[in-house]
A and B are shown apart, each in its own frame.
Chain A
């Protein structure tokens, strides 16, 4: 069953119906990430398409209020026209999951906590959600946060909503912090580094005053380590010089080549053919050690704090979670055949104390567990 509400009141009615009927709701905006999590769940789908469009955009205030089903591409074009951007570098998961590009929406991006390469220097989706309006799993319309860039009034509920995957409330409006687009971008590339050496180099450069905006490593037959610098031209050039002095080497890439490489890091195109895709989040620099014994193709982002692992179905998922845990991190199953997605929760299970607390927080928003409780096989399903 698919519902197409057009107003917050419709959403309230849908939630109350679901509570009455004991049926789970799945919130779908662009649907680009639907293939993440337990497949074939019995849900009523709430199609958010009607909740699209910009509510208010005030470039000098650095604040944007937008409805959740607004397409990411459309939004980015509007911001770019004002010389601004979403600094957390969101990206479209569609092509990763066998869908046409362009479906991703801002609501889905924030709900899934999607952040790209610049997350390393500029923070993630959680750091840019200033406030929101939503319908809770209780069927109540509520707001939290504010519409200014600096606010500590009340609990920072926006942080909870970012990355909650629609399990607490249905977003109807988001207020985001917007930042100026860098006027100049250059990428410095180092060639031939081992994965371990790349981790060390990226850590050293991140610890320099060169203000590296993004740092990634593409292993393979011709390994490439990328350091991206952004800002005003004289500053970028000075910092490139600083990095080259520190490194004693490094090529400044041609603009098109650099764009293509960063697009690869963003879309995981080099891992497109791998049947299984893991996203492993670890402490900065721990990526190579964590992934060393995991067979597959890898891309390291966030200066080695993020490993994308394209693997074969034969790889034991518990090897991946054990490696992530040993490194002090966690692994997310982004892509995999249905059988694997039935066996392994897409989000890494939490230690019992944290899981119990998270379950109580979910219940605070969604006491009857109607907001997609099965998707990540959370322990709160049992309640």
Chain B
């Protein structure tokens, strides 16, 4: 494995027993885990290629305990990695050999639901789906729906700014969170945002969401809940080539339609999904679209007509509209099973997450096919077509020497390609350790230094989740000095005003 994490601090490792005792003084009983076998549970997250058991794990139950743990670790120079359900696909919760893993699993209560204000206050360890479960009786739901929603937690969603298939219409986590209670690395408890629609000062909540556990530990989240749409219906549309499918997507949006979901699958993904769940996907098409429309029945009927016509105009070779809820779910079943389905094609797969401007799709798929040949590894594509978020699934066999490294190199080339055509490294999975070393593809040194100074404002000693997101760890004092000294004027040759 080529990944480099910060070298473990031997002095900290030598204090392991003392640190465990100090943590036990804060979280009594079984809340502190130091048994080496038990710690293996935490050795990786959803990005299983990387494994590293933590030095210790602690499972607090109250904000006061989180605060005391962080304060003690801060005073003693011990690194901390926060963890929700551990479903991160970018290694955001990968432990450190000399770090304490802070698990928020015991924060699992829905604290309050206010239907008049349309919000729910939950603890960070509540799963994404459990928020919807808590409010669906009254006809509400929580909109962001990452595919891991049965397991992933709201705290993790906040850290990663998670998306889902519905985010073109309903937004990512950041657009659906109103406030958080967080604990800073020095133990200070701070509330960002609240229940209002805007911030009184700087939008610190906005920069906190998606900060991948580097800025603070979430201990409470206030989310916006929405009334459930009256109906939802889906179309399944097949095309003889990717270009036509791409044009169809663009025309739907040009017609002023923002579907609740608009997914595309390429030929390998269609075949894998159909073989796995047998829902009647056409096998003679190069691209398959699922377009979901939601809202009042009248709206769905109207828009289905519009979308079907646009599909026709773009040369769709097949088009079916869901007649009932069972059929709508069947249309989705293949797409939702795409990952495990592709998993049957090869012992392992590696899921990428770049975003591109949609119109570059045919070119990107073509170049991806060339890369696939060069690396000798298969690739299947599922694609959030509405927002240009690609999920290429690279097929490999970790038991064959060198294949994992090749899969990673292939993946990195795909992400470089995304950036080259005007896109980004990650649409919803986060940078974590996975894309950390690719950040310079997208950002210059000055851009990254500016982001790291934000980190320094929250955690000046860089003790919280270090080794993630940034390819080079600069000490904060060093960042303060970079490039300019007060009074020194660069570009002396420029004309003055």
- Answer yes or no: B24 CB below 8 A from chain A CBs: no
Q: Is the CB of A19 within 8 A of B171?
A: no
- Answer yes or no: B196 CB below 8 A from chain A CBs: yes
Q: A328-B195, A354-B201, A357-B190 are in contact. Are A150 and B384 (CB under 8 A)?
A: yes
Whole-angstrom distance from the CB of B126 to the nearest CB of chain A? 21
15 A-B pairs within 8 Å (CB atoms) are namely: A17-B496, A61-B357, A113-B199, A138-B483, A139-B484, A142-B447, A148-B427, A149-B355, A150-B389, A154-B448, A200-B116, A209-B296, A328-B196, A330-B196, A357-B204
- Answer yes or no: B168 CB below 8 A from chain A CBs: yes
Binding site for B on A (CB under 8 A): 3-5, 9-10, 12-14, 16-17, 19-20, 58-63, 83, 113, 115, 119-120, 123-124, 126-127, 136, 138-144, 146-160, 162-164, 167-168, 179-183, 200, 203, 206-211, 231-232, 234-235, 237-239, 242, 281-286, 302, 305-306, 328-330, 332, 347-351, 353-355, 357-358, 360-365, 367-368, 376, 378
Q: Is the CB of A282 within 8 A of B139?
A: no
Q: Which one of A152, A285, A365 contacts B210 once the chains associate, using CB atoms below 8 Å?
A: A152
Cα distance A203–B489 when bound, in Å? 56
- Answer yes or no: B44 CB below 8 A from chain A CBs: no
Q: A16-B484, A150-B388, A363-B457 are in contact. Are A302 and B210 (CB under 8 A)?
A: no
Which B residues are in CB contact (< 8 Å) with A181?
A: 256
Q: A148-B423, A149-B388, A328-B196 are in contact. Are A234 and B203 (CB under 8 A)?
A: no
Q: Is the CB of B457 within 8 A of A360?
A: yes
Cα distance A281–B178 when bound, in Å? 13
Contact with A along B189-211 (1 / 0, CB 8 A): 11110111111111111110111
- Answer yes or no: B358 CB below 8 A from chain A CBs: yes
Which of B253, B439, B448 lies at the interface centre, i.e. has the most chain A CB atoms within 10 A of its CB? Answer: B253
Within 8 A of A (CB), among B145-195: 160-161, 163, 167-168, 171-172, 174-175, 184, 188-192, 194-195
Q: A13-B494, A123-B171, A142-B447 are in contact. Are A183 and B256 (CB under 8 A)?
A: yes
Which A residues are in CB contact (< 8 Å) with B430?
A: 152
Q: Is the CB of B497 within 8 A of A330?
A: no
Whole-angstrom distance from the CB of B376 to the nearest CB of chain A? 29
Give 8 closest A-B pairs by Cβ, nearest first: A159-B206, A235-B299, A180-B256, A283-B195, A238-B298, A364-B453, A330-B200, A360-B457
Which of A179, A332, A350 lies at the interface centre, i.e. has the most chain B CB atoms within 10 A of its CB? Answer: A350
Q: Which one of B118, B199, B295 contacts A235 once the chains associate, using CB atoms below 8 Å?
A: B295
Cα distance A153–B426 when bound, in Å? 5
Q: A139-B490, A155-B451 are in contact. Are A361 and B204 (CB under 8 A)?
A: yes
- Answer yes or no: B486 CB below 8 A from chain A CBs: yes
Whole-angstrom distance from the CB of A219 to the nearest CB of chain B? 19
Which B residues are in CB contact (< 8 Å) with A231?
A: 295, 299
- Answer yes or no: B332 CB below 8 A from chain A CBs: no
- Answer yes or no: B96 CB below 8 A from chain A CBs: no
Q: Is the CB of B387 within 8 A of A9?
A: no
Q: Is the CB of A154 within 8 A of B198?
A: no
- Answer yes or no: B39 CB below 8 A from chain A CBs: no
Whole-angstrom distance from the CB of B358 to the nearest CB of chain A? 6
Q: Is the CB of A14 within 8 A of B387?
A: no
Cα distance A179–B255 when bound, in Å? 11
Q: Is the CB of B207 within 8 A of A281?
A: no
- Answer yes or no: B80 CB below 8 A from chain A CBs: no
Cα distance A283–B119 when bound, in Å? 10
Q: Which one of A142, A306, A353, A368 contacts B197 once the chains associate, using CB atoms below 8 Å?
A: A306
Whole-angstrom distance from the CB of A159 to the nearest CB of chain B? 2
Q: A209-B230, A353-B188 are in contact. Are A157 and B451 (CB under 8 A)?
A: yes
Additional 20 contacts, C-beta under 8 A, given A330-B200, A354-B192: A3-B497, A12-B490, A16-B491, A124-B197, A147-B357, A148-B357, A148-B423, A154-B447, A155-B211, A159-B207, A164-B202, A234-B298, A234-B299, A238-B298, A282-B196, A283-B117, A284-B117, A329-B194, A358-B201, A364-B456
Q: A141-B446, A160-B206, A284-B118 are in contact. Are A361 and B296 (CB under 8 A)?
A: no
Q: Which one of A13, A124, A155, A206 contacts B198 once the chains associate, using CB atoms below 8 Å?
A: A124
Cα distance A362–B163 when bound, in Å? 29
Q: Is the CB of A155 within 8 A of B253?
A: no
Which B residues are in CB contact (< 8 Å) with A209?
A: 139, 227-230, 295-296
Interface residues on chain B, number (Cβ under 8 Å): 108
Which A residues are in CB contact (< 8 Å) with B200?
A: 281, 330, 332, 347-350
Which B residues are in CB contact (< 8 Å) with A139?
A: 484, 490
Q: Which one of B427, B444, B448, B450 contacts A136 once the chains associate, using CB atoms below 8 Å?
A: B450
Which A residues are in CB contact (< 8 Å) with B301?
A: 234
Whole-angstrom distance from the CB of B280 to the nearest CB of chain A? 29
Q: Which one of A20, A148, A180, A362 contacts B422 once the chains associate, using CB atoms below 8 Å?
A: A148
Q: Which one of B202, B227, B425, B491 contacts A358 once the chains associate, using CB atoms below 8 Å?
A: B202
Binding site for A on B (CB under 8 A): 115-119, 139-140, 160-161, 163, 167-168, 171-172, 174-175, 184, 188-192, 194-207, 209-211, 227-230, 250-251, 253-258, 295-299, 301-303, 355-359, 384, 387-389, 422-431, 435, 439, 442-444, 446-448, 450-451, 453-458, 469, 480, 483-484, 486-491, 494-497
Which A residues are in CB contact (< 8 Å) with B435?
A: 153
Cα distance A153–B451 when bound, in Å? 11
Which B residues are in CB contact (< 8 Å) with A285?
A: 116-117
Q: Is the CB of B196 within 8 A of A329?
A: yes
Which residue of chain B lies nearest to A160 when distances are taken between CB atoms in the complex?
A: B207
Cα distance A347–B160 when bound, in Å? 30
Q: Is the CB of B457 within 8 A of A153?
A: no
Q: Is the CB of B487 within 8 A of A20?
A: yes
Which B residues are in CB contact (< 8 Å) with A156?
A: 161, 174, 206-207, 209-211
Q: A115-B198, A350-B200, A364-B454 are in contact. Are A154 and B487 (CB under 8 A)?
A: no
Which A residues are in CB contact (< 8 Å) with B116?
A: 200, 203, 207, 284-285
Which B residues are in CB contact (< 8 Å) with A350?
A: 200-201
Q: Is the CB of A146 within 8 A of B298?
A: no
Which B residues are in CB contact (< 8 Å) with A242?
A: 296
Which A residues are in CB contact (< 8 Å) with B424?
A: 146, 148, 151, 153
Which A residues are in CB contact (< 8 Å) with B253?
A: 60, 62, 180
Which A residues are in CB contact (< 8 Å) with B303?
A: 232
Cα distance A328–B119 when bound, in Å? 14
Q: A127-B175, A208-B227, A364-B454 are in contact. Are A140 and B483 (CB under 8 A)?
A: yes
Q: Is the CB of B190 within 8 A of A154?
A: no
Q: A155-B210, A282-B196 are in contact. Are A150 and B355 (CB under 8 A)?
A: yes
Which B residues are in CB contact (< 8 Å) with A159?
A: 174, 203, 205-207, 209
